[in-house]
Every structure is written in structure tokens, then in C-alpha cells.
């Protein structure tokens, strides 16, 4: 179309001028990034101060979690139970810092990021190895389990030399299902131990509950005696008006810790549902004496509860006098907990 005609009529030329359009778009983005409201200039330090403050608070929660008091609703223990999940707030704050184009917020995010990696980074790698000569498994089977026999067989399929079960209402159905694999067993209250090797000195352990939810037995393994404790500590609750109610659980942990401290056998294994994580300070009477098999030789966080969407590792395998070689989570059963297993070198 003639240029003169276009000027007279006010029309503009149409057609693929992609080069000029792309250059214009790049120019606009460059101006946005480098202009006074972009990633240059004094504004990048003044913007996002609220995000930076939130990042600092998050980092301090992780670094100083042991200083959070338990006097009000056991807030410290509640925080420590779900401490790994605080890491999910880091990418949320990161997105906010990028959208606000705030260097201050990005720098502040280094505190929670480094704290989280220091606390849990080691759990992201596979530390399992080969070998071992003593395999154990534990499972809170749930009192209302509709398939005790199938649950027992599923745990036995792990190949464990010793199996611990907790929270059964009728031990006979588990005894029948496991009889062909495990010649020796002992049931005390609502917990039990099944072993391929002879058992001796099996007895209940008083964890201050009024009924039996813990036991101790000596397993005569081919590599020597191993003292095995099976425990189901009291449940904890999160209540709106009372916070994290864990007083009875804490008392039971102290009682169990005293029993383990007096154990004369050098090699010790604790199996069970402790209703608490290794980070929970209230389990210190136990965790200060024993080593977590999942933490030492697992792959990932090893969350075991709730089975549908595991959020915490409250089922534990802990040892003393032995080296964990590998630890893993077993497939789900009808229980609300996942079974777990570990292999050790005696």
C-alpha cells in the first residue's frame, strides 16, 4: 500500500514484524528488571521487609526449637514433632521474595534454609547398606484391625528374625498367624514379641499406665544375647483449649528410660510406637541412651503415621551396642500406622 495513502488515511502497515516486537518485549522486561522498581536501585533493600522478618522467625524456630517452652500446652514438643514440615514454608517465602524483588528477603531466607539442611539434610540421602545378621520389625496393628492374620503375615514377610506388635485386642489371632514362622513368643498385655530364636526372661515393664503396654525379653541370637524392649507409650492429643497433651506419655518415657538404663545386657533393641519423634525433647530419657536405626541407616524421613498420609515418625527402632545397616518402611496394612523394619550387625 503506498506510504502517502497510509499517511492520509491514518492506516498503519500490518504484517509480521516479529523482530521489532520481540525487541520491544525484551526492552520492556529489561526496564522492569533494571529500572527503579526492578532488581536494581535502593528499592530492592526496602521491599519485602515483612517477608524477611518472617524468614528470620522461621529460622530461629528451627535453630532454637529446644528453647521453646513446654509450660504452655507443650508447645515445644508439638513444634518438634512436626519440625521437618516447617521447611515447606521456605519455598513459599522464596516465591514471595522473588515476586517482591527483595534482596533483603532473599538474604534472610538463608537462615531457615541452612538451619533446615543442618537438621534434616542427612535424611535426604540413602544411608542403607548391605550385610547385617539381625533383622527386626515392629508394627502398631491397631486394636480395630479387621484383618489380624493378613497384617501378621505382611509383617513377617519382611524376613525379620524378631517381630514386635503393639495395640492388639486379641493376641490369639496374631499368635496363630505367626506360629509357623516364629517358634518363640511372649505376650504381655497389649504388646507382644515373636522370635525365630529362643526367648528367656520375658516380663512386663511398668511404664506407669496402670496396665501392661511394654515388655522386655532376652533373645538368644546366634551372635549372643540381645535385650529387646517392646513398648507402646500413651497417645498424645492436640486440643484447642489444652494444647499438646502429652503428660502421661512423658511420664511413661521416663519410666522406660530408667528400665533401659539399668539393662545389664550390652546389646539392646527398643521396638514400638513411642508416640513421639526423635526430635521431641520429652523422649530424651530414651533417645539419650539409644541410637535410631532409621536415622543411622534409613532412606528418607521414614514417616510412619498416619498411614494414609504419613507426617511423623513416631514408630521407632532404636539400638545400643549394635550397628544399624539398613532401615525401611513396610507396605501399608489395615492399621493406621505403617510397619517398619531394620537390619543390624551384631
What is the C-alpha end-to-end distance of the chain, expressed in Å?
Answer: 91
Q: Is residue 178 predicted with pLDDT exceeding 50?
A: yes
- Looking at residue 273, which CATH number applies to its domain? 3.60.10.10
Instruction: Decide if 111 is inside a domain.
Output: yes
- State the pLDDT confidence band at 9, using cuts at 50, 70 and 90: very low
Give the containing element (helix H, strand E) for 238: strand 237-239
Has this prediction a pTM greater than 0.85? no
- State the pLDDT confidence band at 72, using cuts at 50, 70 and 90: confident
The domain tally of the chain equals: 2
User: What confidence score (pLDDT) does residue 33 get?
Assistant: 52
Tell me: the pLDDT tens digits for 180-220?
Answer: 999 999 999 999 999 999 999 999 999 999 999 999 999 99
- Considering the domain architecture, whether residues 29 and 178 belong to the same structural domain is answered as no
Instruction: Decide if 56 is inside a domain.
Output: yes
User: What confidence score (pLDDT) does residue 242 get?
Assistant: 45
User: What confidence score (pLDDT) does residue 282 get?
Assistant: 92
- Considering the domain architecture, whether residues 119 and 43 belong to the same structural domain is answered as yes
Share of the chain above pLDDT 90, in %: 77
Distance CA(169)–CA(232), nearest Å, equals 13
Average pLDDT of span 308-320: 97
CA dihedral for 47, 51, 53, 59, sign (positive or negative): negative
Residue span of the structural domain in which 292 resides: 134-345
Give the DSSP letter of residue 189: T
Average pLDDT of span 252-281: 97
Distance CA(226)–CA(134), nearest Å, equals 10
Contacts of 293 (CB under 8 A, 6+ apart): 317, 318, 319, 324, 327, 342, 344
- Considering the domain architecture, whether residues 111 and 185 belong to the same structural domain is answered as no
Among the candidates 124, 153, 188, a domain finishes at: 124
- Considering the domain architecture, whether residues 110 and 141 belong to the same structural domain is answered as no
> What angle do the packed helices 171-178 and 148-156 form, to 10 degrees?
40
- State the pLDDT confidence band at 5, using cuts at 50, 70 and 90: very low
Instruction: Decide if 9 is inside a domain.
Output: no
Average pLDDT of span 97-115: 95
Among the candidates 57, 92, 124, a domain finishes at: 124
- Considering the domain architecture, whether residues 181 and 261 belong to the same structural domain is answered as yes
Average pLDDT of span 136-161: 97
Q: How many CB atoms lie within 10 A of CB 27?
A: 10
Amino acid at each position: 500500500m503506498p506510504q502517502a495513502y497510509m499517511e492520509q488515511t491514518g492506516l498503519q502497515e500490518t504484517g509480521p514484524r516479529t523482530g521489532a516486537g520481540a525487541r520491544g518485549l525484551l526492552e520492556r522486561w529489561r526496564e522492569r528488571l533494571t529500572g527503579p522498581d526492578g532488581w536494581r536501585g535502593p528499592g530492592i533493600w526496602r521491599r519485602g521487609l515483612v517477608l524477611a522478618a518472617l524468614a528470620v522467625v522461621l529460622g530461629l524456630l528451627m535453630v532454637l526449637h529446644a528453647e521453646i517452652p513446654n509450660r504452655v500446652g507443650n508447645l515445644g514438643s508439638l513444634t518438634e514433632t512436626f519440625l521437618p514440615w516447617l521447611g515447606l514454608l521456605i519455598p513459599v517465602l522464596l516465591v514471595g521474595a522473588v515476586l517482591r524483588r527483595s534482596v533483603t528477603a532473599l538474604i534472610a531466607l538463608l537462615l531457615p534454609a541452612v538451619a533446615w539442611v543442618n537438621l534434616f539434610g542427612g535424611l535426604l540421602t540413602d544411608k542403607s547398606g548391605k550385610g547385617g545378621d539381625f533383622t527386626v520389625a515392629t508394627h502398631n496393628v491397631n486394636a480395630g484391625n479387621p484383618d489380624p492374620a493378613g497384617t501378621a503375615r505382611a509383617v513377617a514377610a519382611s524376613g525379620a528374625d524378631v517381630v514386635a506388635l503393639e495395640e492388639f485386642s486379641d493376641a490369639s489371632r496374631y499368635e496363630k498367624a505367626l506360629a509357623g514362622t516364629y517358634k518363640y513368643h511372649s505376650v504381655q498385655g497389649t504388646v507382644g514379641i515373636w522370635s525365630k530364636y529362643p526367648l528367656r526372661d520375658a516380663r512386663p515393664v511398668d511404664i506407669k499406665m496402670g496396665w501392661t503396654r511394654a515388655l522386655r525379653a532376652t533373645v538368644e541370637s546366634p551372635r549372643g544375647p540381645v535385650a529387646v524392649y517392646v513398648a507402646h507409650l500413651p497417645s498424645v492429643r492436640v486440643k484447642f483449649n489444652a494444647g499438646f497433651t502429652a503428660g502421661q506419655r512423658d511420664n511413661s518415657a521416663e519410666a522406660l528410660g530408667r528400665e533401659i538404663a539399668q539393662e545389664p545386657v550390652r546389646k539392646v533393641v527398643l521396638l514400638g510406637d513411642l508416640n513421639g519423634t526423635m526430635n521431641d525433647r520429652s523422649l530424651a530419657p530414651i533417645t539419650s541412651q539409644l541410637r535410631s536405626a532409621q536415622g543411622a541407616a534409613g532412606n528418607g524421613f521414614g514417616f510412619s503415621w498416619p498411614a494414609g498420609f504419613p507426617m511423623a515418625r513416631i514408630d521407632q527402632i532404636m539400638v545400643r551396642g549394635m550397628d544399624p545397616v539398613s532401615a525401611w518402611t513396610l507396605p501399608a496394612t489395615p492399621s493406621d500406622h505403617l510397619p517398619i523394619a531394620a537390619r543390624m550387625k551384631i
